Structure 1
Amino acid sequence: MASILDILNTNLGKELINKASGKTGVPLNNVSSVLGMVLPLILGNFKNKIQEGYTESLNEMLEEAPNPSKFMRVFSDKETEDLLECGSNYGEMILGENFNSIINTISDSLNVDKAAVQEITTICIPVVIAILSIQKKKENIKNDEIEDLIDSALGSSSKYNNSFFDTIFNIKNNPNIIPEASAMVIGKKNKKDSILKGYTGGK
């Protein structure tokens, strides 16, 4: 099944890695490692918020996400600043009191400066929200289905795989890329216990 980590193998993911590396001075491979840990955490905390009863406000956030398509394009320097500003606002809402603990855990695990981890996390949050926002519109997802969307992005379900691939690959006129992309990730998921455990919203 697909998961949010599949974006790291797309042009979008590579551009995100390059931009975060350029902004923080962290080597590309370390940025990729940070993203590999933090992307599922963003979704996991989103899911936790849903289970805590914040579905309506999170739904509004996806509905009102500013220019989600912009965050799916190649980022200019100006747009990187937009990502930081937007990510700071979203991060407070989604990660909340877990934010510092997540940053500290990732920093200690990967031996990457805490300030850099925080900035990388902040930069990528709007991209995650943009993906979910675009998928929500494509699939006409209702409030009570948002958790299913999160599960799909976490790789726990294949329900919304097609719109996920369509979004991250920015597919226009080549419908064949969806089954090709699906084949690319089938069988590649090896589940392991996360050192971050409950932060991901999973077990």
Structure 2
Amino acid sequence: MSGLLDLLNSPTGKQMISGVADQTGNSIDQTGSVLTMALPLLMGAMKKNAATPEGAQGLMSALSNNHDGSILNNLSGLFGGGVDESVKKDGAGILGHVLGNKQSKVESAISQKSGVDTSSVASILKIAAPILLGLIGQKKQQENINEPSGIQDLLGSMMGGGQQANKQQSLIESFLDSDGDGSVLDDVAALALGGDKGGIGGMLGGLFGK
């Protein structure tokens, strides 16, 4: 079973999807569909960036200084009173750094595949990005990773590990490096959830016990 399926199906993952849905005015299914495609893309982009010593050090510093997992300690508080603008600003900064000039392309492709409008996709990702970094930071602490060289392996394990993660990473890199229409997202999502290409809706149906 994929690491991302474990993440999305965990209490934290379900709370994240439900909370982000409430904040952005989208259904749980719509939000889950967006995050099913977005999370592997964001992790894959981080893994690609961390392939350079500078990129690995930058992500290591961000995880150590600002995203140590403490955001996960009170998700109900984060969503209960409305997500603070500082969290959204942080998310926008993360997306800009991780995706660079591909951000609008990624958001547009996810919108196309999920049926959620582009502005809602952007809002979902802004809120989800700091939570995702918090999850990575928490995992970094649990596995006692103190050197930048260990970041790529950590992200690979969270993407599922093994040949599946390598194939997923290749798909993600080809997507980020190309000017295609985003059709590869179906394959990315299928690999991320450890399933076949039965469609996002079917995968999410299983995810939420429908």
Across the aligned residues of Structure 1 and Structure 2, the Cα RMSD in angstroms comes to: 2.2
Mapped contact 1:34–1:110 kept (Cα < 8 A): yes
Check the 8 A contact 1:19/1:80 in 2, yes or no: no
2:180 is aligned to none
Give the equivalent residue in structure 2 for 1:145.
150
Q: CA deviation at 1:66?
A: 4.5
What is the aligned partner in structure 2 of residue 80 from structure 1? 83
Rounded Cα–Cα distance in structure 1 between residues aligned with 2:142 and 2:13: 21
Shift in Å, 1:191: 6.0
Bigger helix fraction: 2
Query: How big is the shift at 1:73?
Result: 3.1
Of the candidates 109, 114, 139, which is equivalent to residue 110 of structure 1? 114
Distance 2:196 2:101 in 1: 27
The offset of 1:38, in angstroms, is: 0.4
Q: State percent identity of aligned pairs.
A: 26
Aligned length: 163
Q: Given that residues 68 and 134 in structure 1 are in contact (C-alpha distance below 8 angstroms), is that contact kept between their aligned partners in structure 2?
A: yes
What is the aligned partner in structure 2 of residue 92 from structure 1? 96
Q: Verify the 8 A CA contact 2:94 2:129 in the aligned structure 1.
A: yes
* 82-91 vs 36-45, which moves further: 82-91
Distance 2:162 2:150 in 1: 13
* Rounded Cα–Cα distance in structure 2 between residues aligned with 1:60 and 1:75: 27
Show CA shifts across 1:108-163 (max 9, x none): 111111010011111111111111111212222121111000100111249xxxxx
Q: 1:185 aligns to what?
A: none
Amino acid at match of 2:102: N
Name the structure 2 match of 1:3.
3
Q: Which residue of 1 aligns with 2:138?
A: 134
- Secondary structure in 2 matching 1:37: helix
Question: What is the CA distance between 1:49 and its match in structure 2?
Answer: 0.6
Written as runs of structure 1 = structure 2, the 5 A alignment for 1:27-42 is: 27-42=27-42
Shift of 1:52: 4.3
TM-score (norm: length of structure 2): 0.70
Cα contact 1:107–1:117 (8 A) shared by 2 = yes
